[in-house]
Amino acid sequence: MSNDTLLVRHNATGKEVEYPLLKGSLGADTVDIRSLNKDLGCFTYDPGFIATAACKSKITYIDGDNGILLYRGYPIEQLAENCEFTEVAYLLMNGELPNAVQLRDFNEEISDRAIIHEALRKFFDGFHYDAHPMAMLVGVVGSLSAFYHSDLNIKDPASRMICATRLIGKMPTIAAASYRHSIGRPFVYPRMDLSYCENFLNMMFSRSSQNYIDQEHYIDPNLVQALNLLFILHADHEQNASTSTVRMAGSTGANPYACVAAGIAALWGPAHGGANEAVLNMLAQIGSVENVPKYIAKAKDHDDPFRLMGFGHRVYKNFDPRATIIRKTCYEVLSRTNTNDPLFELALALEEYALKDEYFIEKKLYPNVDFYSGIIYKALHIPVEMFTVMFAIARTAGWISHWLEMMEEPGTPISRPRQLYVGPPRRDYTAVNNR
């Protein structure tokens, strides 16, 4: 038997079959079991795809045991310290960091594509004034295919790249428009003279009589850098629920706008992109620093429904490398904004208590990126209902990179998971009067 295979024995029949072990450049070997049903007459059962690799990818690598996150081979720590978000988006999409000319051209293209069609802007008038921004984001992004159908030749690499840069460019514009519609303020157009993060903040917070960012009124550049950092840390995270949704939709041949809209819908779930919003809701539930010991005890009680949000991670078993990076930024933002919100005092008290508690140390339940990102967004005056939208802006770079990669892979099959049927066996129809 070869060392590069895995022997599977069906004890009921005695049949044995060797399956090849596929070796990646990093990480555990993966067993190729595509012929399992043909060979042994059975399928694998893996709810949540805990141990299943659904694709090959060159984009992101995670080592959860050792707290490692790489974008195209580059450690997240190095990218977060040295890059702007659009530089990382270029890396994810193209596989290499851009040189100065490439980055300049990419930034210009992203800025040029930030404007949205006037007819598309009127879509927002159809949403109720209190519609959730994520609901608007899903609907408007999905409708982009109705406005840019001439560029929807997904078999053409150039057309695919146009769709990709269009999505990255327009996402902050659509996101800011969703927020402004929810508070009854007029739409603010994107500006070519501002960076990606500056543009978003200007579109969010400008008043009709004054730009949020201009020569006479400019926010602390460190706060812009904090937003840039958050976008980099959230840009991609391997085959998570929303990215897998984008890939699954893409496997059908659906256009990229529909695929990304599907990803946004998946991200909206509180167990995924809504986690940092859940952190703020949890802090509001705890109420005050004095209640921290009480709620820590509730979190330890398996019979208590209360859960401590923003601690631990399904993938990272020791620590979240993104949280290590963002913790320092969180403290800097709170210092620079001179925020006296008691919620921040509560968050820092909860962090300190948990980091010293033996239960949390033993269980390796450290604060994750959602814990700190929610605090930073609130300090930047981003409303809680926009937290998941912020996640979507950043993650669009990852979603579209995975879509591009999948479209370049020849012979990608349509995603079609199997099931373990546990319903009734075959039975005959009974007339309604005889039931």
Which of the residues are catalytic?
A: 313, 370
With beta carbons less than 8 A apart as the criterion, state whether 26 and 61 touch.
Answer: yes
Q: Residue 348: which of 320, 379, 317 has the closest Cα?
A: 379
Residues 6+ apart with CB under 8 A from 352: none
> Over the chain, what HEC string results?
CCCCEEEEEECCCCEEEEEEEECCCCCCCEECCCCHHHHHCCCCCCHHHCCCCCCCCCCEEEECCCCEEEECCEEHHHHHHHCCHHHHHHHHHHCCCCCHHHHHHHHHHHHHCCCCCHHHHHHHHHCCCCCCHHHHHHHHHHHHHHHCHHHCCCCCHHHHHHHHHHHHHHHHHHHHHHHHHHCCCCCCCCCCCCCHHHHHHHHHHCECCECCCECCECCCHHHHHHHHHHHHHCCCCCCCHHHHHHHHHHCCCCCHHHHHHHHHHHHCCCCCCCHHHHHHHHHHHHCCHHHHHHHHHHHHCCCCCCCCCCECCCCCCCCCHHHHHHHHHHHHHHHHHCCCCHHHHHHHHHHHHHHHCHHHHHHCCCECHHHHHHHHHHHCCCCHHHHHHHHHHHHHHHHHHHHHHHHHCCCCCCCCCCCCCCCCCCCCCCCHHHC
Residue with tokens 């960012």: 213
C-alpha distances out from residue 227 to 6, 195, 380, Å? 46, 12, 9
Q: Residue 329: which of 223, 196, 219, 237 has the closest Cα?
A: 223
Q: Residue 411: which of 251, 246, 244 has the closest Cα?
A: 251
Can you tell me the distance from the alpha carbon of 183 to that of 170, in angstroms, rounded to the nearest whole number? 20
